[in-house]
Structure 1
């Protein structure tokens, strides 16, 4: 039987994560347009790729903490060849292209991150990348596969710095622009960032002078993976 496609408009937060996992559990395919597109473009895109139902997975104040172990108790039973979602390229070099990803794709990415960085049971990932972006999705899936908690928030320099300061964050994923915007806060209060195991920088070409060159010793930087 052909899997049913659902259009999902989402940004961040535990509510969006639970919506996505619910679709996986019932065998549906999530069609995930960029929230940067106009609403009509999002809806047209979802319908073009077979989605007859479109849901909005955001809430006004999404709960930030996702306890991966309790959500993912059934995850190991998923077939690797099952298509989980259809994502879209950024469109910076042309028309955004659809990219179907399977559960196996997400699992392979999680394994590669573990091999590269050595995920531990006490790790705690801060996810301030949007979930409609594959970078944000990658954080969600690796946390779920390795059953470690992660913290979701919509990025602002102040909110991100506060989360690092007040929670036992060990890793954070950023794009270079985010890192640049955090620069002054990191310099004024480096102690919270010094206890991170790493900052994973991905997305556009990474410029070491953006931050790492001015912050040697504050925390390890790990380009270019997201």
Structure 2
């Protein structure tokens, strides 16, 4: 197992130099060329004065160039700060400021977005002088394109300046490699510090659970600016020396096309991503080269993945940014019903406990509680936020995940739901995922989202939106009548509506439905808040 990301890429280039490291958006690059080109970036960074521990930001989509930049940044000993390309200019500026980024490398454009125009909003002085008053630490900006604002450089000029520069010593395994901003869906985003060892160890063990082997071609459209993309796609590819296939923007049709054309054997995704593939008019059951992969999906969708996709060795994974991200996963050799049921084993060397979130005491096997973890996957802390770090970590070194789980007698754990998303119905706790799994079991339902809505008597009650399968028609009353004998009374949604899609609120960059926005929409829809207006 490589100790650093640099060692992983160097070993992959030595072992399988001509194997494709990454394929995406019409581009291909071998491990040998990726290694060589990343050295060019590392030399240019060194020539620009970037030293070990400095923070360098990337604003780019999933691509060959992103991987080259990332490997170059970590080789020089700097810390990569991936910028979410879907953020507003104000949000991007906030991330660059909070991360103390010294240098930014940005694409000229991506998916019809003019990022030079975005750059001018983020940093208004790029046409005159750097740094700007808004970002006093940002002294250098590089634009991947033919032209750049007056105070910036083109990527070609940036590389040329470093051609004769010597590389510094390689970073150590405990050096920070990544600042990963949390999603911020329920709170202000925090800057997670992950080391080389955090990322390579996590990538190694998840690859083992997936059964990665020589010749595999692994489709992952998880955004590289999220840790599921950086650790569990880019780094995993290097650690196991297998081909990563990706795309700028996930669609079910494009994913199916890539799986077939690139002969992909592994993939990854969440509920929405798998449903977009399974529900696509292009989907042809049991006709793909997929053997398995990893998925953060419900049992109902996992069963469809195994039985309809034919990806019989798919494993369930669980984690969060603060844990590199993967804490545990099932194994490709586990009994299929355990994998479908979401029963996972913690990775070797990790101590996972299920605790009462109020007292911190470990609960009995079979009882639900907060998942807590201690060991090599846990972040170094939040950058510039010691108070939040202390709040998230216990005195004896456990990370409080904020997620609910249950542990069986054999030590396997199942994810139950987000602690903050638990619906408190009177004196009962309802995990949205439990209700969603039942609703998705309806033969006419493709997708479901369950969430808490206010109630004057019970404080909270379940609300739900469901999306029918292609060509199917179903009513809310029909769904509720079907679900009633399958759910305890307090779990049955009090409010349910059938919708065409979750485009009513849009998807996050990682193809998740943003429940906070969905609840706001539902409050209006069901007359519990400000009434909807129609035009």
Q: Same fold (TM over 0.5)?
A: yes
Deviation at 1:58, TM superposition (A): 7.4
2:210–2:294 Cα contact (<8 Å) kept: no
Aligned counterpart in structure 2 of residue 48 of structure 1, from 98, 109, 113 = 98
DSSP 3-state at the match of 2:307: coil
The superposition leaves residues 125-180 of structure 1 with CA deviations (integer Å, 9 ceiling, x where unpaired) of 11211101111112110111111111121211111010011112111111111111
What is the CA–CA distance in structure 2 between the aligned matches of 1:214 and 1:197, rounded to whole Å? Answer: 11
- Aligned ranges for residues 32-111 of structure 1 at < 5 Å? 32-57=82-107, 60=110, 78-111=171-204
The superposition leaves residues 161-206 of structure 1 with CA deviations (integer Å, 9 ceiling, x where unpaired) of 100111121111111111111113488412443x31214212xxx3
1:16–1:58 Cα contact (<8 Å) kept: no
2:268–2:294 Cα contact (<8 Å) kept: yes
Specify the alignment match of 2:253 in structure 1: 158
What is the CA–CA distance in structure 2 between the aligned matches of 1:188 and 1:118, rounded to whole Å? Answer: 25
Cα-Cα RMSD: 2.4
Q: Which runs of 5+ in 1 are unaligned?
A: 62-76
| 59 and 165 in structure 1: CA distance in 2 versus 1, 3 angstrom threshold | farther
What is the CA–CA distance in structure 2 between the aligned matches of 1:157 and 1:90, rounded to whole Å? Answer: 23
What is the CA–CA distance in structure 1 between the aligned matches of 2:64 and 2:222, rounded to whole Å? Answer: 13
Bigger mean CA deviation after superposition, 34-43 or 80-89: 34-43
What is the CA–CA distance in structure 1 between the aligned matches of 2:294 and 2:305, rounded to whole Å? Answer: 17
Deviation at 1:78, TM superposition (A): 4.8
Q: Which has the higher contact order (CA 8 A, sep 6+)?
A: 1
Specify the alignment match of 1:224 in structure 2: 317
2:203–2:239 Cα contact (<8 Å) kept: yes
| 172 and 118 in structure 1: CA distance in 2 versus 1, 3 angstrom threshold | same
**Larger helix fraction of residues:** 1
Bigger mean CA deviation after superposition, 207-216 or 43-52: 207-216
What is the CA–CA distance in structure 2 between the aligned matches of 1:58 and 1:45, rounded to whole Å? Answer: 19
Deviation at 1:59, TM superposition (A): 6.2
Specify the alignment match of 2:62 in structure 1: 12
Specify the alignment match of 1:127 in structure 2: 220
Specify the alignment match of 1:198 in structure 2: 292
Deviation at 1:36, TM superposition (A): 2.9
What is the CA–CA distance in structure 1 between the aligned matches of 2:305 and 2:203, rounded to whole Å? Answer: 31
**Larger strand fraction of residues:** 2
